[in-house]
Amino acid sequence: MGKNIRKDSMKIVPPGKKRCIWMEAGVVSYKLCDNNYDCSTCVYDQAMQLKVARQKEAALAAPDQKAADQIPASWVEKMMQLPSSQRKCRYMITGEVVRKLCPNSYECGNCAFDQMMQERVQTDELPAKTTGEAAGFGIAEDFYYHEGHTWARPEYGGRVRVGLDDFAQRFFKKPSRIELPNTGQSLSQGKTAFTIRKNGDTAQVLSPIDGLVVRVNEKIAEQSELVNKSPYGEGWLFIVEPASLRKNLKGLYFGENAKAFLKEEKERLFNQANKDLSLAADGGVSVDDIFSELDGENWSEFVKVFFRS
């Protein structure tokens, strides 16, 4: 009985975490998904597939029947051994739908339901929980923040939605135009991803992640003010199929680190304003006051300093 209790306790999943598909299928006793169920780019999935393939090859080549009878199975093979009434669709596993069974032998690329869900995920702006303020700036839960004041939000399926943070939307208040990257364009973390124009001035804004642009927010072309109205929601900019997601996320600010970053940026902003602007950036001057004073050379200088471009 003690062994059973230990086995069950190891399968307890922490709040907010999801079980890896290899755990869901019963191939491994415990593994959490850290790649947003994007198995095609998951290092763990690739390693497990290779391991199973090698074990199968060794078992089939074994001279004794016992070894041949113990051929290992991949997660797909394990799931297909279940009754059809228990083969959960990956969107049921992730919690995006209450109940949906897999009708397509887990060949998601050929599944009409998967394509429909991908379209929904790509186009809908997902509600963002605002935790309040950090140094007077709005900040959203579960978002990763780049030092160039863009955010990245991983979503189920492995894709990442990108936008401007509250600091940036205040700086670029009422932009004249936002020139987004083209669909299919390759982006690199820390390199220019798009351009913002305001009153004849231009700012190059950096990408928070590496990857390929798969969709852009068409509304932004006609309604650039959406980034001011809803920077973490309707004002999102584009969606990326990431190339090095886990590596990229390590280079971004998250949670308490993101709040600390914004506090540091506010201090730098007032120091920079005190140095470069005619106004004295003391306690009587607000962030918005500083931003409203920027134009020409001052605006360009602040772009270099705070948007790292």
Same domain membership, residue 91 and residue 7 = yes
Least Cα distance to 167 among 238, 72, 232 occurs for 232
Q: Kindly state whether residue 241 falls inside one of the protein's structural domains.
A: yes
Q: Write down which residue in 235, 254, 273 finishes a domain.
A: 254
User: Which of the listed residues 254, 277, 302 is the one where a domain comes to its end?
Assistant: 254
Rounded CA-CA distance 307/309 in Å is 5
For 84, residues 6+ apart whose C-beta sits below 8 A from its C-beta are: 101
User: Residue 165 sits in a domain of what CATH number?
Assistant: 2.40.50.100
Whether residue 37 is found in the same domain as residue 112: yes
Q: Are residues 20 and 52 in the same domain?
A: yes
Q: Which residue, of 215, 232, 254, is where some domain finishes?
A: 254
Comparing CA positions, the residue from 159, 227, 147 lying closest to residue 191 is 147
Dihedral over alpha carbons 180, 131, 35, 125 (to 10 degrees): -40
Domain enclosing residue 159, as ranges: 124-254
pTM of the entire predicted model: 0.65
The pLDDT value given to residue 7:
43
Residues 46, 152 share a domain = no
Number of structural domains the chain divides into: 2
Per-residue pLDDT tens digits for 260-304: 999 999 999 999 988 887 655 555 678 988 898 888 889 999 999
Residues 248 and 130 in one domain: yes
Whether residues 233 and 160 fall in one domain: yes
Among 160-174, 177-191, 268-282, which stretch is predicted with the lowest mean pLDDT? 268-282
The pLDDT tens digits of the residues spanning 47-100 come to 999 999 988 888 877 776 665 557 788 999 999 999 999 999 988 887 778 899
pLDDT category at 167 given cuts 50, 70, 90 is: very high
Same domain? 89 vs 17: yes
